[in-house]
Amino acid sequence: MRAAKKKILVIAGSAVALIVVAASAAALVFNVNAYKPEIEAAVSDATGLDVRINGRMGVSFFPFGISASDIHVADKGGEVLSLERLKVGAEIIPLLRKHLKVTGCEVVRPAVTVVEYAEGKYNFERGEPAKGGLGTAFSVHRLKVFGGSLVYLDKRTGIKTELKEIDLAATDLTLADIPGEILKSLSFTGNMSCKELRRKDLTIDSITSSMKGEKGVFRFEPVTVNIFGAKGKGIFIADASEPDAVYRINLNVPGLDFERFEESFGIKKMIGGKGDLVTALTVKDKMRRSLLSETSGTLTLGGNNLVTYTEDLDKVLSAYKTTQKFSLLDIGAFFLAGPLGSVALRGYHYGNLYYQAQGGRGTITTFVSRWKIEGGEADAVDCALATRHNRVALKGKLNLVSERYDNVTVALLDHNGCAMFKQGIRGSLGHPNVGAVSAAESLAGPFVNLYRRAKKFVQGGKCEVFYAGSVQQPR
């Protein structure tokens, strides 16, 4: 009996060895590249996009897998995806039933270009898969991406967002076969990192996050970033479960560098030191509507013991009898506009002439700029700064959609928070009016005699409180 069992095992082992040798020989003899045109045509029919494999392909049987290099995918408007190398392992039986069940996938240096057109469609959705082709449903247990890049172009605004050197590892990735609902069909969990994100003048480095996607909702939590010379942490949620997508961004950046902050928005160096930035924004992506008109939330920027490189504010604010010339907006506008400074001062050439003529350094002991945004309109909730001897505050609104100042006023305060002197700015951001004169005339021409106005105000007695926020009057 024992001899019989031993003989059976020997025969079985020999058979397995023979099968392995035969399969290996078949893999060596089988030339998958001869079938490259058929593979390209099948994938093109299945996706509705033009798929080309310019490099060589390879195949293995234990486990079953296919590799390819130099792959390009395009629609009628241009290239959607290119891959330096792709390696896919899949189960054979589901594949014969036209269901792709991928056991593992490695992607090297993919370059993705996503274009969102004016009608809200994406470039990868414009192709029409052939009827009866391979279904889009598939699942993969493990997905790894090395050195990827992504370019997103919004045709409605013309704004381009670029991500470079993306690495990610995802598990249990599934794409259900739901026509026209690719985002709702996708589910996965994993981790990602990105070396750099660039959007206009804004650059964010060293992005890392855990991620999860299910039923059109994609959560990146927690997200860590290097931004404005500091390390930030937050949450990003993209909800595409409804026709109008919703994006939620919560980010806390303690200890940001004001010089780096100014540089990122194309503003010349005028302030130095460290501050804290806190954002909590919700953006609804409604068809044919400006994203700004559907933005709501809060933005706060603040800091202590900041340095002004272009002027000693106390010298200008306090020496009434010697200077008796003053333009309050020229001194306070950028600091008080804070996180919206690059928007608020688009047409206001802040300090170009006045500060260059004065020179000097100064100190801002306390600074806060807190804004509430609703329907694309930013309302100054608490915007003020204090020097060693003076306090200045701002009130009013910025219409981010129509790009206009809405009754914005800057005031020099007394110890009760009353306005010793105030000056308003209205009109478009590109051509604002400061009081009765334009911004350019305010900077280049004669300044208001602050001393006489302040003296008249003090003699008048009681006043209406202009500011009662968190910035205290200096002693």
How do residues 120-158 score in pLDDT, each as one tens digit? 677 776 555 555 444 456 677 888 999 999 998 888 778
pLDDT of residue 294: 78
Domain that holds residue 107: 31-200
* Domains held by the chain: number: 2
Percent above pLDDT 90 for the chain: 24
pLDDT of residue 148: 94
Judged by average pLDDT, the poorest of 214-228, 359-373, 441-455 is 441-455
Contact 333, 345 (CB under 8 A): yes
Residue 413 tokens, joined: 């305060």
- In a domain, residue 101? The reply is yes
pLDDT of residue 290: 61
Q: 402 with 268, same domain?
A: yes
Q: Mean pLDDT over residues 18-26, rounded?
A: 44
- In a domain, residue 466? The reply is no
pLDDT of 301 higher than 80: yes
Alpha-carbon 365 to chain mean position: 31
| More confident site: 166 or 35 | 166
Q: How far apart are CA 28 and CA 25, in angstroms?
A: 5
**Last residue of one domain, picked from the residues 200, 217, 244:** 200
Judged by average pLDDT, the poorest of 134-148, 336-350, 455-469 is 336-350
Tell me whether residue 308 is exposed, middle or buried, using C-beta atoms within 10 angstroms of its C-beta: 0 to 12, 13 to 18, 19 or more: buried
Rounded to a whole number, what is the distance in angstroms from the first to the last CA of the chain? Answer: 104
Residue 341 tokens, joined: 């400074």
- In a domain, residue 55? The reply is yes
Q: 181 with 307, same domain?
A: no
pLDDT of 447 higher than 60: no
The single residue listed with the structure tokens 């078949």 is 26
Q: How far apart are CA 417 and CA 392, in angstroms?
A: 9
> What is the number of alpha carbons within 13 Å of residue 370 lying toward its C-beta?
8
Amino acid identity, position 429:
L
Q: 182 with 66, same domain?
A: yes
| More confident site: 463 or 167 | 167
Q: Mean pLDDT over residues 12-28, rounded?
A: 44
Contact 115, 155 (CB under 8 A): yes
Element (H, E) at 2: helix 2-29
| More confident site: 170 or 345 | 170
**Last residue of one domain, picked from the residues 155, 184, 200:** 200
Q: How far apart are CA 49 and CA 208, in angstroms?
A: 32
- In a domain, residue 241? The reply is no
| More confident site: 76 or 160 | 160
Q: 153 with 271, same domain?
A: no
- In a domain, residue 54? The reply is yes
Q: 150 with 60, same domain?
A: yes
Q: 264 with 350, same domain?
A: yes
Alpha-carbon 170 to chain mean position: 22
Element (H, E) at 355: helix 354-358
Residue 196 tokens, joined: 């750099």
Q: How far apart are CA 426 and CA 330, in angstroms?
A: 14
Residue 296 CB neighbours (<10 A): 15
Residue 29 CB neighbours (<10 A): 7
pLDDT of 15 higher than 80: no
Q: How confident is the model at residue 212 (pLDDT cuts 50, 70, 90)?
A: very high
**Last residue of one domain, picked from the residues 152, 180, 200:** 200
pLDDT of residue 255: 93
Q: 268 with 392, same domain?
A: yes
Element (H, E) at 362: strand 362-374
pLDDT of residue 321: 35
Percent above pLDDT 70 for the chain: 69
Q: How confident is the model at residue 7 (pLDDT cuts 50, 70, 90)?
A: very low
> What is the number of alpha carbons within 13 Å of residue 201 lying toward its C-beta?
11
Judged by average pLDDT, the poorest of 5-9, 138-142, 281-285, 416-420 is 5-9
Alpha helices in 288-376 (DSSP H): 313-318, 320-323, 328-337, 341-344, 354-358
- In a domain, residue 14? The reply is no
pLDDT of residue 441: 38
Q: 450 with 353, same domain?
A: yes
Q: 287 with 185, same domain?
A: no
- In a domain, residue 1? The reply is no
Q: How far apart are CA 376 and CA 262, in angstroms?
A: 23
| More confident site: 256 or 358 | 256
Q: Mean pLDDT over residues 113-119, rounded?
A: 81
Among 58-72, 75-89, 276-290, 445-459, the range with the most confident prediction by mean pLDDT is 75-89
pLDDT of 210 higher than 60: yes
Q: 263 with 128, same domain?
A: no
- In a domain, residue 467? The reply is no
Q: Mean pLDDT over residues 40-66, rounded?
A: 81
What is the bridge-based pairing of β-strands 111-116 and 138-154? parallel
pLDDT of residue 218: 92
Q: 283 with 384, same domain?
A: yes
Q: How confident is the model at residue 3 (pLDDT cuts 50, 70, 90)?
A: low
Convert the pLDDT of each residue in 168-206 to its tens digit. Answer: 999 888 877 666 666 777 889 999 999 999 987 788 899
What is the bridge-based pairing of β-strands 100-108 and 138-154? parallel
pLDDT of 84 higher than 60: yes
Q: 302 with 435, same domain?
A: yes
Q: State the average pLDDT for the chain.
A: 76
